Amino acid sequence: MVSDGQGDKQVVMVRLMQGTQNRYNQRGVSSSKEEVHKVVDQMDRGLFPGAFCKITDDLLTGRKECCNVIHSDGAGTKSILGYLWYRETGDASVFKGIAQDSLVMNLDDLACVGAWDNVMISSTVNRNARNFPGEVLASLIEGTEEFLQTMRDLGISVYSGGGETADVGDLTGTVAVDSCAVAVMERSRVIDNAKICPGLAIVGLSSSGQATYEQTENSGIGSNGLTSARHELLSKHYFENYPETFDPNTPEEYLYCGPHRMSDSLPGSPMSVGQALLSPTRTYLPVAKTLSEQLGEHLQGLVHCSGGGQTKCMRFGTGVHHIKDNLFSPPPLFAEIQKVSGTSDEEMHQVYNMGHRLEAYCPPDQADLVIEIAQSFGIDAQVVGRTETSNRPDQSNHVTIQRGEIELTYG
């Protein structure tokens, strides 16, 4: 921390490209994935280099007016939480939520480029058959079909193209749940984040609460940062009883170092700690589709605040200073993670969504319409910030987050 000379305000400068060591890194994970971007950023970026996902020529149908989008992601280590829940309760249905997590992490990325019609999904499950029996696998498959049907009922035409289950006990002690989504769309319908520029409002759509298409309240956790969330919140009980759920190369001080069992009540919430951690990742697909239909070209960008949390936006637009000075109050789960772990503000905002997982970029006079549309789906929304011209000598993108007397700068 360094003082900026403005009263008591503290300014924290965070240089993402320096790879600073923190609690997240100590667990063998990275929020910025610097080593990946060093390679990928040098590759062909597709037809719309500034879009949220890579978009290519339509090689599937050959139509010149169309393009292809393909995306791969999964539930990550959230599947370990499902495993722990199943082992302690015998409730295999928890994996229906894990199926949703894997699907949404693909579909909501596709939504950020405008792809939500005629999407095909394929899922891959890598499991240790000794620890992950048939009844749990059945729950995963059922959860996939139930979620896709819910989306179709909401006007999102997404279908399963099958998948693969691999028994790979030498690779995993529990289970990994991944998916791949592919779509053909008209180029004219692409939401191109290259249009994110100075002078826009940033509208955040809450990650918590209960949307009209959700059956229960959502904690807001999504499917990012779960390695740290699991170890920060859960106690040594899990270290002692479930060694298959962690990397033995991680220093023990970072393994299951929290105060809670999954059945404990989460402070400030009607959920237990386990229920909050396992809260299925909210999809914004129906909202994104409506935003695109009603705002048209006024919708100048959508950002899914997944890996990188509140710094994800820094990768989009050119010469942009993203200023977020009116964020949602952190939901109880994030507040508890920070309380019990002592994780810094700068790391919290880089790892977790901290209250909103989708951002819409639009002219300020369209912000009320974005909020109204989100609220029609039962999702809280508010203007969380704005874009200005980069003040860096090289005009590089950067992010400033202001919460009370704390100012965090990334980039």
pLDDT band at residue 257 using 50, 70 and 90 as cut-offs: very high
Closest C-alpha among 381, 232, 221 to residue 305: 221
Once rounded to an integer, what is the mean pLDDT over residues 254-271?
97
Mean of pLDDT values over 91-100: 98
Residue 255 predicted with pLDDT over 70: yes
pLDDT at position 7 is 41
Q: Which helix (H) or strand (E) holds 35?
A: helix 34-40
Beta strands in 223-289 (DSSP E): none
Strands across the sheet containing 320-324? 2-3, 10-14, 406-410, 398-403, 320-324, 381-389, 201-206, 356-362, 301-304
Average pLDDT on 36-48 reads: 72
pLDDT, one tens digit per residue, over 8-26 is 445 544 443 333 346 666 7
**1-43+191-221+280-411: CATH architecture:** Alpha-Beta Complex (3.90)
- Residues above pLDDT 90, as percent of the chain: 88
Q: In the prediction, which pLDDT does 406 show?
A: 93
Spatial separation of the C-alpha atoms in residues 220 and 202, rounded to whole Å? 19
For the residues 321-334, what does the mean pLDDT come to? Answer: 98
Which tokens in the block code for residue 290?
């409506």
Nearest to 77 by CA among 149, 175, 7, 143: 175
pLDDT at 120 over 70: yes
pTM for this predicted structure: 0.90
Beta bridge partners of residue 311, listed in sequence order: none
Separation between Cα atoms, residue 279 and residue 97, nearest integer Å: 7
Residue 140 pLDDT > 50: yes
pLDDT (tens digit, 9 = 90+) per residue, 342-361?
999 999 999 999 999 999 99
Where in the chain are all domains bearing CATH 3.90.650.10? Answer: 1-43+191-221+280-411
pLDDT at 283: 98
The H or E element that residue 34 is part of is helix 34-40
Give yes or no for residue 5 having a pLDDT over 70: no
pLDDT the model gives residue 45: 81
In the block, residue with structure tokens 């860096």: 392
Give the up-direction half-sphere exposure of residue 138: CA atoms within 13 A in the CB hemisphere: 5
Collect all residues with Cβ–Cβ distance below 8 Å to 392 and sequence separation of at least 6.
398, 411
* Phi, psi for residue 178 in degrees, rounded to 5: -125, 160
Nearest to 215 by CA among 356, 100, 375: 100
Q: In Å, how far are 210, 347, 367 from 201, measured between CA atoms?
A: 25, 25, 7
Closest of 311, 288, 285 to residue 301, by C-alpha: 288
Q: What is the mean pLDDT of residues 206-234?
A: 97
| 52-189: CATH superfamily | PurM-like, N-terminal domain (3.30.1330.10)
Average pLDDT estimate for 212-236: 96
- Distance (Å, whole) CA 385 – CA 365: 14
pLDDT at 304 over 50: yes
Query: Measuring CA to CA, how many Å separate 296 from each of 189, 326, 332, 379?
Result: 9, 26, 35, 21
Tens of pLDDT, residue by residue over 357-404, are 999 999 999 999 999 999 999 999 999 999 999 999 999 999 999 999
Report helix angle 285-295 to 94-111, nearest 10.
20
Residue 199: count other Cβ atoms within 10 Å of its Cβ: 12
The confidence score (pLDDT) of residue 44 equals 84
Q: With a cut of 90, say whether residue 29 has pLDDT above it.
A: no
Share of the chain above pLDDT 70, in %: 90
- Residues 183 and 258 sit within 8 Å (Cβ to Cβ): no
- Residue 41: the pLDDT is 65
pLDDT tens-place string over residues 43-93: 688 999 999 999 999 999 999 999 999 999 999 999 999 999 999 999 999
Q: What are phi and psi of 122, to 5 degrees?
A: -130, 140
pLDDT at 27: 60
CATH 3.30.1330.10 residue ranges for the chain: 52-189
pLDDT tier for residue 6 given thresholds of 50, 70 and 90: very low
